[in-house]
Structure 1
Amino acid sequence: MDLFRRLPQLFVGLFLYGVSMALMIQSDLGLNPWDVFHQGLSEVTGVSFGWIVLLTGIPVLLLWIPLRQRPGFGTVANLVVVGFAADAALAMLPEGGSIPARVGYLVGGMLLNGFATGLYIGSRMGPGPRDGLMTGLAARFPRISLRIIRTGIELSVLGAGFLLGGTVGIGTIAYAVAIGPLVHLFLPKLTVPLPRSRDLESTTVR
């Protein structure tokens, strides 16, 4: 029965995640590292931001194969839904214009991003392609901390995105500082509890 909660939660979370990306783009104050990369590729290729999110997710997902990561239903849904949601929101949202409006977009985008992350991860239906790459590398190279791996990946895509023309600014720094605490706030409240039998089994395995 928990599937009736998990599926809607997954799709609402992914949709809102795409909307949060659009809000930060329209703020023009800076994006998170992956979106700097996505925006840079979009600027260079002329392909819409949402399609770039989808298309870059495919090779990232292929990198899971040597890492022996298994995608879940949520992984595939993430690949498809987030990009289309971002494009739909970008088509409807006006540009920020004034500084207060742009700051509002930025703050709203970060808050919504943290909430949406809690929703889709909390549905327990599989990580997104980029999150799975990070956790897969951490499992493959256990002597390297997850923090170092994540930092290395994000600095790499940030640098590449900046060179391609993606927007780096105060929003990039604000996101880096705020997203951890926001996910920490929302995720425990939004995580679907495991059935008792599975919960006991996971405890035994540990």
Structure 2
Amino acid sequence: MSTKMPSRLVRLLAGLALFGVSVALMVRADLGLASWDVLHQGVADRTGLPMGLVVNGVALLVLLLWIPLRQRPGVGTVANVALVGVALDATLAVLPPLEPLAGRIGLLVAGVVLNGLATALYLGARLGPGPRDGLMTGLAARGLLLGPARTGIEVTVLAVGWLLGGALGPGTLLYAIAIGPIVAWFVPRLAAPSPAATPTGATSPCPA
């Protein structure tokens, strides 16, 4: 095992746990969620299941779609399926809803920033993408343009989630606009050195 593997595992586990926490913050803000989380919340509301359990269940179903796309999961992919929903439900259990709008806005902003940091951590571990990201890259590998493939999936899950009662609002727009630049800022600062890194420790900022 590489001497850097423990450090990469720490990045991965911390990133996945913080990702679940960040989603919980946005849920408690009640000002709108990211597209996949609109779907997760809608399914949870309709079924009565804990939202974290729905997150893990949807991730598992998406992972099954990798089979015809011939995508291979990594350690990070499997850990994503298992851990994000657990962290989400644990945070919701200890974080009560807020009434003041200022507090909810604060939770929303904190959730979006933390989500970007968490994403950079688990992608920077270079141990495999999450199921949803792998679905998009798998479709791209089969000839679909990545941009349209991602947009089509995001719009579809957002629409279905909204129809099921998921929270669509200004937070959804804020997340869509801000998450890319936030992740791009964090990735080069948090990514683990790639296997091709030079002896001096130089590495590419691109995630796995």
Deviation at 1:147, TM superposition (A): 1.5
Structure 2 residue runs without a partner (length 5+) = none
**Which of 84, 101, 120 is 1:82 aligned to?**
84
Deviation at 1:146, TM superposition (A): 1.3
Q: TM-score, normalised by structure 2?
A: 0.92
Q: What corresponds to 1:62 in structure 2?
A: 64
Greater helix share, 1 or 2?
A: 1
Task: Report how many residues are paired.
Answer: 198
Which amino acid in the other structure matches residue 170 of structure 1? P
Deviation at 1:197, TM superposition (A): 7.1
Matched position secondary structure for 2:180:
helix
Deviation at 1:188, TM superposition (A): 1.2
> Equivalents in 2 of 1:198, 1:188: separation in Å?
16
Deviation at 1:195, TM superposition (A): 3.3
What is the CA RMSD across the aligned residues, in angstroms? 1.5
**Which of 34, 37, 42 is 1:35 aligned to?**
37
Rate the CA distance shift 1:26–1:66 in 2: closer, same or farther, 3 A.
Answer: same
> Equivalents in 1 of 2:187, 2:139: separation in Å?
23
Deviation at 1:57, TM superposition (A): 1.1
> Equivalents in 2 of 1:156, 1:197: separation in Å?
39
Matched position secondary structure for 1:95:
coil
Q: Within 5 A, what are the aligned runs for 1:4-153?
A: 4-141=6-143, 144-153=144-153
Q: Residues 29 and 106 of structure 1 are in contact (CA less than 8 Å); yes or no, is this contact kept in structure 2?
A: yes
Structure 1 residue runs without a partner (length 5+) = none
Kindly, what percent of the aligned residue pairs are identical? 56
Deviation at 1:150, TM superposition (A): 0.8
Q: What corresponds to 1:189 in structure 2?
A: 189
Q: TM-score, normalised by structure 1?
A: 0.93
> Equivalents in 1 of 2:191, 2:13: separation in Å?
14
Q: Residues 17 and 116 of structure 1 are in contact (CA less than 8 Å); yes or no, is this contact kept in structure 2?
A: yes
